[in-house]
Amino acid sequence: MRLVTLFAENRRALLEIVNRGWPAVETSEIDGWIVRFSSGVTKRANSVLTLHAPENVDEAIREVERRSVERWLPASFQVGTFSQPDDLDQLLSERGYESIGPTTVQAMERGDLQGFLGRTDERVTASSAPSQEWLEFFWEREAFTDPTIRLVTQRILTGVESVFYELRDPETTEILSIAKMSLVAEYGGLYCLYTHPDHRGQGHARALIETILSDAAERDIEAIWLQVEDKNTGAIVLYNQLGFDTVARYHYRVKG
C-alpha cells in the first residue's frame, strides 16, 4: 500500500490534528507530552500523546503515573513511529507496561475525495448535533449504560465541530448505521462508524462512508482521516477498497 503524501515529512502535525478530532475532557502537558483524561472513556481520550521528548523522561513518566493514580486510572501512553523519545516503547516495556490496541491511521486526500462527489445515499441524513436516537445507538454498540459514562462520551462527541450521520430504513425509519465526521481546520476525521448487528453485510457501512466522502468533497476538505484497530480486518478491507492509505501506526502501553 502506498503512503500518501499528506504530512509525509511531518507525521507529528497529522497526529496533532487527529488529537483535536477526539477531544479529551481534561488535557494538560508534561514537558512536551499531551496528557489526556476522560474518566476512562476510550483509550484515545485517556492516554499520553508522546509527540515531543521531555528533558527528563523518567521524571515525566512518574508524573504521568502520579496523575493517573489521582484519577483511579492506569497510566497509558499512545506510542508509535512518531513518539519521542525514540526508545519510549522499550522504556515502557521494561517498566512492565503492556502493549495493546495496535491501530492504523489512514487518510484520503482532496484529489481522491473529489471522485466521490455525488455518490450519496438518500437514506442518509446529516446534522451538526447528534440526535437522542444517534446517541442511544452509539451507547448500545459500546455497551455504555452508566449515566456518568454516557455524559462523558457525549461531551467528547460534541467537543469539536462535527457532522453526525444516520442511515435509516426508509420504511421503518429504524437507524441501521451511524458515523461522525469531526471538522478540524481544513481536515475531517471519520469516527463512530457502527452498523446494527442485525443489518451487517448489506452494504450500509459502504453507502454511509461514500456519502460522507461526498460531503467532505463538497466542503472542499483537504483530507479525511480515520483510525482503525488492526483486529478489525473487515473494516480495513473496506477502507482499502474505498481508497484510504496508511499514514501512521500506533499502539498503547498500559501500566499493569
2 found inside a domain? no
Predicted confidence (pLDDT) at residue 48 exceeds the cutoff of 90: yes
Shared domain for 56 and 141, answered yes or no, is no
What is the distance between the alpha carbons of residues 105 and 39, in angstroms, rounded to a whole number?
24
* Domain that residue 212 falls in: 108-248
Q: What are phi and psi of 55, to 5 degrees?
A: -65, -40
Mean pLDDT within 59-88: 95
> Which of the residue ranges 14-28, 85-99, 175-189 would you say has the lowest mean pLDDT?
14-28
Q: Phi/psi zone of residue 165: left (φ > 0), alpha (ψ -120 to 50 degrees), beta?
A: beta
pLDDT number for residue 248: 87
CB 92, CB 79: distance < 8 Å:
yes
Shared domain for 64 and 187, answered yes or no, is no
What is the distance between the alpha carbons of residues 187 and 221, in angstroms, rounded to a whole number?
5
CB 27, CB 59: distance < 8 Å:
no
Shared domain for 57 and 90, answered yes or no, is yes
Q: How confident is the model over 185-244, as pLDDT tens digits?
A: 999 999 999 999 999 889 999 999 999 999 999 999 999 999 999 999 999 999 999 999
The last residue of one of the domains, among 50, 79, 104, is 104
Q: Name the amino acid, one letter, at 97.
A: Y
255 found inside a domain? no
1 found inside a domain? no
117 found inside a domain? yes
Shared domain for 139 and 220, answered yes or no, is yes
Shared domain for 57 and 92, answered yes or no, is yes
C-alpha cell, 73: 486510572
Confidence band (pLDDT; 50, 70, 90) for 5? low
Mean pLDDT within 151-160: 96
Predicted confidence (pLDDT) at residue 9 exceeds the cutoff of 60: no
Mean pLDDT within 77-95: 94
Shared domain for 210 and 155, answered yes or no, is yes
Confidence band (pLDDT; 50, 70, 90) for 167? very high
Q: Which residue has the higher pLDDT, 79 or 2?
A: 79
Number of domains in the chain: 2
Predicted confidence (pLDDT) at residue 45 exceeds the cutoff of 90: yes
The last residue of one of the domains, among 104, 124, 145, is 104
Mean pLDDT within 160-186: 96
Ordered DSSP codes for 17-70: HHHHHS--SEEEEETTEEEEESTT-SSGGGSEE--S--SSHHHHHHHHHHHHHH
4 found inside a domain? no
Confidence band (pLDDT; 50, 70, 90) for 3? very low
Shared domain for 112 and 239, answered yes or no, is yes
Mean pLDDT, the chain, integer: 93
The last residue of one of the domains, among 104, 132, 154, is 104
Q: How confident is the model over 94-128, as pLDDT tens digits?
A: 999 999 999 999 999 999 999 999 999 999 999 99
To which H or E segment does residue 184 belong?
strand 175-184
Shared domain for 140 and 213, answered yes or no, is yes
Mean pLDDT within 32-59: 95
Shared domain for 72 and 53, answered yes or no, is yes
C-alpha cell, 158: 460534541
238 found inside a domain? yes
Shared domain for 36 and 87, answered yes or no, is yes
pLDDT number for residue 1: 36
CB 21, CB 191: distance < 8 Å:
yes
What is the distance between the alpha carbons of residues 106 and 117, in angstroms, rounded to a whole number?
20
DSSP state of 150: H
CATH code of residue 239: 3.40.630.30
Shared domain for 79 and 139, answered yes or no, is no
Model-level pTM? 0.92
137 found inside a domain? yes
81 found inside a domain? yes
Shared domain for 112 and 99, answered yes or no, is no
pLDDT number for residue 97: 98
